[in-house]
Chains A and B, each alone.
Chain A
Amino acid sequence: NAGVTQTPKFRVLKTGQSMTLLCAQDMNHEYMYWYRQDPGMGLRLIHYSVGEGTTAKGEVPDGYNVSRLKKQNFLLGLESAAPSQTSVYFCASSYAGAGEETQYFGPGTRLLVL
């Protein structure tokens, strides 16, 4: 049982390049999330999904797109990377049932945009 995994672990991009971050979970969770973490700002929600084929915007969605074609995968895309998107990105997943409000996090992807 691997939990939540993220690919890649680290990436360097040039301004204007595109990339996709992959998140996979093997816990059969319904909900999945993408966060970014910047110094002194905690974790901020980018996009989330409450089920296969559905996505919604979080607190800081601009410049990002997501897709959830399979229940176990949640993709985060940057179409045209900007230096302001330099951050550590975390994926998380959660059960939908009552009393299961906690989220389980992946190890993170460090992204540097030059």
Chain B
Amino acid sequence: QKEVEQDPGPLSVPEGAIVSLNCTYSNSAFQYFMWYRQYSRKGPELLMYTYSSGNKEDGRFTAQVDKSSKYISLFIRDSQPSDSATYLCAMCSSGSARQLTFGSGTQLTVLP
């Protein structure tokens, strides 16, 4: 079993829809959680970073962490065609030299 599991998709939604992307993890030592967005043939770019359980909002994006269930989510409101990309969850523990463990990524397409 992988340490981090992520729905691979692909996921296709109409413009304006609310998108929910999810990851589960098994390592209770993970304390820092990130979502990266990766456009086709580009490097991943940081979208959201959270440390504690709860919600963090940034514009149309909300990151949610539930450490008790070992479950993290990314919500995208009012999705746009420009949101079409692969979304990767990533996480690490403290003192790990920032060694990130990534999910396999969810490919999202937002249709105009």
Contact = CB atoms under 8 A, between A and B. Distances in A.
Interface string A27-66: 0000101000000111111001010000010100000000
Contact of B42 (A4, A42, A44, A108): A108
Bin chain B's interface residue count: 20 to 34
A94 interface: yes
A74 interface: no
Interface stretch (B11-19, B73-81, B98-106): B98-106
B88 interface: yes
B29 interface: no
Interface string B42-55: 11111001010000
A93 B43 CA distance: 12
A17 interface: no
Contact of B97 (A40, A43, A50, A104): A50
B43 A107 contact: yes
B32 A101 contact: yes
A43 B2 CA distance: 13
Contacts of A18: none
Interface of A: 4, 31, 33, 40-45, 48, 50, 56, 58, 90, 94, 99, 101-108
